A and B are shown apart, each in its own frame.
Chain A
Amino acid sequence: MTRMTNQRFMIRRIFALAVLALLWLAAAAQVLVTPPNEKLLQGRVKQVEEFISRFNLDETWQGRRTENPADTALRAKYIATLFDADRFSDGRGHLIPEAQQFVSQVVGGGWRLNFEDTTWVAEVVIDATLAQKPQRVKLYLATQCLAPYEYCWVVRNVSGAMFDVSAAENPYPVLSPIDHETGFMRLLDISYSDGRFTQMFGPDYHPDRLSMLAVLLKNRLLQLNKIASVRFHFFTVPGWSFTIERKEKKGSFNTGWLISKLNKME
């Protein structure tokens, strides 16, 4: 009898401990953790290289090598997903006619994008400061082959209001033919705020913006503060150009690096 009583006591004790443990777990689980949506993360175009890989049908949405890269129907489907649906969708799950035409030409012609191509350009907009005034500078970069297997990005051009020092029309010479007799002191009194002073550089003057940029950076006159935006322009497909930008969309597979502009070149 005593043995049975002890056994019942042990069972009740174990049961009570189990209930307490469950209650404790419930309390701890109040800090609920919802894991990231892996499907959405797989679907987004995370890197520019991933955009290129999907465009070429080298890689699937899951990041694996494609089994049949020559499948044109599948390639068309993949390229369609690389368009920003907000701009290129007709609202019924299809691309607008212009985008469809582009996809057909890419797939029909077997056009591929390659990192080492000279047919794509990066456009980087930078917030800068020149003489304590905020400025916007736009750099255009292209890939450059340095040696077998070795590439880098180089700045091919720059634009911005500060570089507008073009040769300007001026009916009168800035420096008089007699200024040599007064030690060219006129140079200290020229109005350099408008562009007319460039007349003194002669008729062969053509502004070299990259040299201007180099001088400003070397002498720390121009401070680059923040990368405002980055876009890439592609001119690989004959008769077409397109631009890709990073787009963030809530809860959408159509997000990341996407085609934001498409131009049919005449």
Chain B
Amino acid sequence: MNTCKYTRYTLGIKNEEFNLPKTYQSYKNSNIMKKTIFAFLLVLMIMPAHAQVNDLSETDIQAFKDRAGEVIDMFQNNLSILGGKKYSAKVKAVYKTSALKLFIGEGKPYTSPDGEKRKGVQMQVSSMRSGKETKQYVSLVRYLDNLIKLPYAEVKLTKADTYRISNIYKVGDHYEATATIFQKFEGFMGKEMQKTYSDVTQKNIKIYIMPENDFVLGQHWSVRLGDIEVVETSNR
């Protein structure tokens, strides 16, 4: 049902030719050759055909996903420290800066890769109250500040092992994807450390894989995080 007028690459094979090795040249007109090609195509047809939304090799895709996973891990670790009460304001300021550096524009207004001026990384926070979903929009900087200033005596942020990184999509000269992670938040109050709040949030984070050039690494691909959709789940 794809009506794209441009050349389609299905299953990694070009439509126009198969680029056969020279050793097969002598068998071009033979029945054996035709049967071999037919069998090869038959095998490939039963393989899952993934959306061809990028020009990356499987190795590159996995490398980018691994790097994105590392950046996400760093972000989650930073959040744990910002929410924890045992760290001083100075330590939290350092980790807040470190967390912001993981994001495109470092939390400040920026020009996106498509040339659009953006206000700064935004978070859309959805929550369920009395069965009704409410949504709020807040800048990443403010979200981190709010996390630091939470009134709880103790805060525990537990990250889940389960996460998912979507397919990587080509967008002009860079690539984009989405990472879905989970975090459990527990707030404790009073001397008895009574748990007064608990939720598990799903965070859908936009990922940018962009070409960058700097003095140390030269030309390289950089992974940065973008807007975040936060969904409060019912799985407590």
- A residues near B, CB below 8 A? 30-38, 40-42, 44, 46-47, 49-50, 56-58, 63, 65-66, 69-70, 112, 114-119, 145, 147-152, 226-228, 236, 246, 248-251, 255
Contacts and interface: CB of A to CB of B under 8 A. Distances in A.
A30 B186 CA distance: 13
A34 B49 CA distance: 40
A228 B126 CA distance: 10
A251 B1 contact: no
- Looking at chain A's contact residues, the main secondary structure is loop
28 contacts: A36-B182, A38-B160, A38-B161, A41-B235, A44-B233, A46-B164, A47-B164, A47-B166, A49-B166, A56-B48, A65-B48, A69-B47, A69-B48, A114-B49, A115-B53, A116-B2, A118-B2, A145-B6, A148-B8, A149-B52, A149-B53, A149-B170, A151-B53, A226-B137, A246-B231, A248-B128, A251-B234, A251-B235
B76 interface: no
B51 A115 contact: yes
B5 A35 contact: no
B162 to A, nearest CB: 4
B78 interface: no
B193 A31 contact: yes
Given A40-B235, A115-B53, 9 more contacts: A30-B192, A33-B156, A36-B200, A38-B162, A47-B204, A114-B1, A150-B53, A248-B128, A250-B235
Nearest to B7: A148
B107 to A, nearest CB: 22
- Looking at chain B's contact residues, the main secondary structure is loop
Interface of B: 1-9, 46-55, 124, 128, 135, 137, 154, 156, 158, 160-162, 164, 166-167, 169-172, 178, 180, 182, 184, 186, 188, 192-193, 195, 200, 202, 204, 231-236
A40 B184 CA distance: 13
Nearest to B178: A47
Contact of A37 (B3, B5, B167, B235): B235
